[in-house]
C-alpha cells in the first residue's frame, strides 16, 4: 500500500491511514458477530468502488440500504473511493420513500434486501467475490452524503453534507471529547443508534477518525433490552457513546439494581446526550442508579447539533460535570432568561461552541440579533454547516439567512430556540413546535415531560402535546398508558385529574383535551423522537 499523509485531508485518506498503521485492529463489529479489521474495511471498500464504477459514474448518488451490519462501513467508503455520493437510508418503506426522492444510480445492500432492487443493486460480499478493485477517484463535487433528517417536525429533508463538513465536524468533536474526558489511548465507540441516522453515522466516523473501534448494537435490541447498551460498554471497555435523552431514562427504569452490580462502567469517558432537550433530573437519576458501577458524572456530555450542521454544534467544556442553572419559569415563557436560585426551572447547558463556529441568537421575526439572555432562534455559521437541501422546495433560505445589520455572512437557521448564558448555549425547544397561549410561549416537550412523570401508570410512556382543534385555542395531550383500555370511568377520571393538576401547577395552563392510548401507539422517528405533527394530524382527523 502506498504511503498516506500523516494528516489526512479527506475521509478516504483517513481510512487508508488506519489500514496502513493499524491493519489488524477491529474497525467495526456488531454485537455477537465477527468484526472487520481496518485492512478488511479498506479492501472491501475498494472492491465496492470497483463494482460501482462498472455501472455508475463519479458524482452519482448511491443508496446504502442496510440494517445493522458491519458491511455498511466498507459500502460507505466504497462510495467515496469511487468519487460518488452516499445516501444512507433505512430498510423498509421509509427507505423506499428516500430512494424514490434521491433517485440513486445504484443500491448497495445485503442479501436480505436484494430482492427489493432486482435491477440495480450490488452487495459488498458480491463485489469482493468479483475480485474488482479501484484506486481512489478524485471527486469533482463536494458532497459526501445525502443525509435525511429524522422528520420529527415534518417530512424528512435531504441534507447535502460535504467531505469538508465532515472533516471539520470530526475535528470539533475531537476537541469536545478531549475537553471532557481523560486521555484515551484507543477510542472504543459503543452505539445503538441506526447507522443511517446522522448521530449514529458520525459516531462511527469518529471511531474512524481516531483509528478506534465501533461496536454497534441493533436499535431494536436496545429498545427490547436497554441494559444491552451498558453491558456492551462494560464488556468492550467502551469510552465514547451517545444517545437521546429518553435512552438514559429508559436504562434507569429498566436495568435492575442486581444488574447494575454486574456492570463495570469505569472506562466510560464521554456519554453524549443530544437530539432532544437534555433533562437535569434524567442525568441525576442515571448517575445515582449507575454510580455503583463506576460511572463518573464527568462523563455526561450534553451537547447540541443537527444534520444541517453535519451533527455537532456545541458542547465544549473544560472538565467537571455539566452545568445546570435554575431560571424563572414565567420569564422563560415571555422570552427572557432570568436566574432564579431556589424554585426556577432547571435547565442543562449544552456547552460552548468549538473554535471556528459562530453561534448567534436571533429574533426570528425581525432578524435582529437578540440581546444578552434573550431567547431566540439559534443561527450557525462555519465550515460544519452543510451545503444545503437536495430538494429545491425545502426551506431554500434556511442556509442563506442574514442578520439585520452589518454582518454580511450567511447563516443556517436551525429552527431551534435557545439563549446564551455566560457563553454557554441553552436550548429550549423547536420553533415549529412552540405553542403561544395568552402571550406566553410553551414548549410541548416540557409539558410532555411533566405528564410522563405525573403518576406511576404513565412513567416511561410516550406523550404528545399540541394545539387542540383546527383553531388551536387550547392544548390537547395524547398519552400512552400501561393499562388495558378502555378504562372504567372512575379510573379514567382520576388519571385525567392528576394530569390536569400537575400541568396547571408546573406550567400554568389548562388542558382542553386528554386522549389515553395503548403503549406503542404514538408515532416516533428512527431515533425515538415523538412525531407531534403526525400525531396531531391523526388526532384532528378523528376528533375534528
> What is the full DSSP assignment across 486-524?
SPPHHHHHHHHHHHHHHHHHHHS--EEEEEEEETT-S-B
Q: What pLDDT is stored for residue 28 in this prediction?
A: 98
Q: Answer with the one of 371, 398, 430 that is the final residue of a domain.
A: 430
Q: Work out how many domains the chain is built from and give that number.
A: 3
424 with 463, same domain: the answer is no
- pLDDT by residue, tens only, the chain of 544 residues: 445 556 788 899 999 999 999 999 999 999 989 999 999 999 999 999 999 999 999 999 999 999 999 999 999 999 999 999 999 999 987 788 889 889 999 999 999 898 888 778 999 999 999 988 888 887 767 999 999 987 655 578 999 999 999 999 999 998 888 777 666 789 999 999 999 999 999 999 999 999 999 999 999 999 999 999 999 999 999 999 999 988 999 999 999 999 999 999 999 999 999 866 888 989 999 999 999 999 999 999 999 999 999 999 998 776 678 899 999 988 999 999 999 988 888 999 998 888 889 999 999 999 999 998 999 999 999 999 999 999 765 666 799 999 998 889 999 999 999 999 999 999 999 898 888 888 888 888 889 989 988 888 887 788 999 988 756 568 899 999 888 888 899 999 999 999 999 999 988 888 999 999 998 889 887 667 788 888 888 888 887 6
CATH of the domain at 86: 3.40.50.980
Q: What pLDDT is stored for residue 329 in this prediction?
A: 87
514 part of a folded domain = yes
411 with 466, same domain: the answer is no
**Cα 124 to Cα 1: distance, rounded to the nearest angstrom:** 21
Q: Where do we find the cell 415571555?
A: 334
488 with 377, same domain: the answer is no
CATH of the domain at 483: 3.30.300.30
496 with 424, same domain: the answer is no
277 part of a folded domain = yes
Q: What pLDDT is stored for residue 544 in this prediction?
A: 60
147 part of a folded domain = no
**Cα 468 to Cα 486: distance, rounded to the nearest angstrom:** 22
Cβ(314)–Cβ(351) below 8 Å = yes
Which letter does DSSP use for residue 209 in this model?
H
Q: Which of 298, 71, 273 is nearest to 180 (CA)?
A: 298
391 with 298, same domain: the answer is yes
174 part of a folded domain = yes
Q: What pLDDT is stored for residue 413 in this prediction?
A: 96
6 part of a folded domain = no
**Cα 274 to Cα 290: distance, rounded to the nearest angstrom:** 19
pTM here is: 0.90
46 with 133, same domain: the answer is yes
436 part of a folded domain = no
Q: What pLDDT is stored for residue 483 in this prediction?
A: 86
317 with 456, same domain: the answer is no
406 with 343, same domain: the answer is yes
48 with 103, same domain: the answer is yes
500 with 352, same domain: the answer is no
Q: Which of 452, 446, 433 is nearest to 509 (CA)?
A: 446
198 part of a folded domain = yes
CATH of the domain at 369: 3.40.50.12780
Q: What pLDDT is stored for residue 2 in this prediction?
A: 45
Q: Show the domain range for 376.
A: 167-430
Q: What pLDDT is stored for residue 399 in this prediction?
A: 94
314 with 210, same domain: the answer is yes
Strands of the sheet containing 270-273, edge to edge, are 36-37, 26-30, 213-216, 188-191, 240-243, 270-273, 300-302
Amino acid at each position: 500500500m502506498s504511503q498516506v499523509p500523516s494528516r489526512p485531508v479527506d475521509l478516504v485518506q483517513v481510512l487508508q491511514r488506519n489500514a496502513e498503521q493499524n491493519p489488524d485492529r477491529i474497525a467495526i463489529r456488531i454485537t455477537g458477530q465477527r468484526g472487520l479489521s481496518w485492512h478488511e474495511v479498506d479492501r472491501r471498500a475498494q472492491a465496492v468502488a470497483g463494482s460501482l464504477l462498472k455501472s455508475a459514474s463519479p458524482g452519482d448518488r448511491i443508496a446504502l440500504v442496510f440494517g445493522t451490519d458491519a458491511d455498511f462501513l466498507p459500502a460507505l467508503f466504497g462510495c467515496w473511493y469511487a468519487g460518488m455520493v452516499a445516501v444512507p437510508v433505512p430498510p423498509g418503506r421509509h427507505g423506499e420513500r428516500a430512494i424514490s426522492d434521491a433517485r440513486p444510480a445504484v443500491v448497495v445492500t445485503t442479501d436480505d434486501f436484494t430482492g427489493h432492487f432486482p435491477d440495480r443493486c450490488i452487495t459488498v460480499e458480491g463485489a469482493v467475490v468479483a475480485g474488482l478493485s479501484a484506486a481512489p477517484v478524485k471527486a469533482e463535487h463536494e458532497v459526501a452524503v445525502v443525509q435525511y433528517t429524522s422528520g420529527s417536525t415534518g417530512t424528512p429533508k435531504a441534507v447535502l453534507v460535504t467531505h469538508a463538513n465532515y472533516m471539520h465536524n470530526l475535528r470539533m468533536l475531537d476537541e469536545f471529547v478531549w475537553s471532557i474526558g481523560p486521555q484515551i489511548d484507543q477510542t472504543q465507540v459503543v452505539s445503538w443508534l441506526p447507522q443511517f441516522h446522522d448521530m449514529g453515522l458520525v459516531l462511527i466516523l469518529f471511531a474512524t477518525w481516531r483509528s478506534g473501534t465501533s461496536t454497534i448494537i441493533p436499535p431494536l435490541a436496545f429498545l427490547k433490552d436497554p441494559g444491552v447498551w451498558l453491558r456492551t460498554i462494560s464488556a468492550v471497555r467502551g469510552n465514547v457513546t451517545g444517545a437521546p435523552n429518553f435512552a438514559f431514562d429508559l436504562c434507569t427504569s429498566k436495568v435492575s439494581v442486581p444488574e447494575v452490580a454486574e456492570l463495570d462502567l469505569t472506562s466510560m469517558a464521554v456519554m453524549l446526550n443530544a437530539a432532544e432537550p437534555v433533562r437535569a433530573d434524567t442525568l441525576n437519576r442515571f448517575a445515582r442508579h449507575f454510580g455503583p458501577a463506576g460511572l463518573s458524572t464527568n462523563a455526561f456530555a450534553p451537547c447540541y447539533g443537527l444534520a444541517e450542521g453535519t451533527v455537532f454544534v456545541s458542547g465544549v467544556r473544560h472538565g467537571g460535570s455539566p452545568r445546570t442553572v435554575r431560571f424563572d419559569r414565567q420569564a422563560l415563557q415571555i422570552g427572557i432568561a432570568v436566574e432564579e436560585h431556589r424554585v426556577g426551572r432547571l435547565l442543562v447547558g449544552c456547552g460552548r461552541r468549538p473554535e471556528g463556529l459562530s453561534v448567534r441568537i436571533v429574533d426570528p421575526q425581525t432578524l435582529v440579533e437578540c440581546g444578552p439572555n434573550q431567547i431566540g432562534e439559534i443561527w450557525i455559521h462555519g465550515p460544519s454547516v452543510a451545503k444545503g437541501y437536495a430538494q429545491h422546495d425545502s426551506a431554500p433560505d434556511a442556509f442563506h439567512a442574514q442578520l439585520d445589520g452589518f454582518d454580511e455572512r450567511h447563516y443556517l437557521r436551525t429552527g431551534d430556540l435557545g439563549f446564551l448564558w455566560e457563553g454557554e448555549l441553552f436550548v429550549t425547544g423547536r420553533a415549529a413546535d412552540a405553542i403561544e397561549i395568552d402571550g406566553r410561549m410553551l414548549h410541548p416537550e416540557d409539558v410532555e415531560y411533566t405528564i410522563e412523570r405525573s403518576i406511576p401508570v404513565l412513567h416511561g410512556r410516550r406523550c404528545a402535546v399540541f394545539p387542540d382543534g383546527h383553531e388551536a385555542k387550547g392544548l390537547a395531550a395524547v398519552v400512552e398508558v400501561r393499562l388495558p383500555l378502555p378504562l372504567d370511568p372512575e379510573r379514567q377520571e382520576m388519571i385525567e385529574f392528576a394530569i390536569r393538576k400537575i400541568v396547571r401547577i408546573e406550567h400554568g395552563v389548562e388542558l382542553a383535551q386528554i386522549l389515553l392510548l395503548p403503549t406503542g401507539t404514538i408515532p416516533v422517528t428512527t431515533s425515538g423522537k415523538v412525531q407531534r405533527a403526525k400525531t396531531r394530524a391523526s388526532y384532528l382527523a378523528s376528533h375534528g
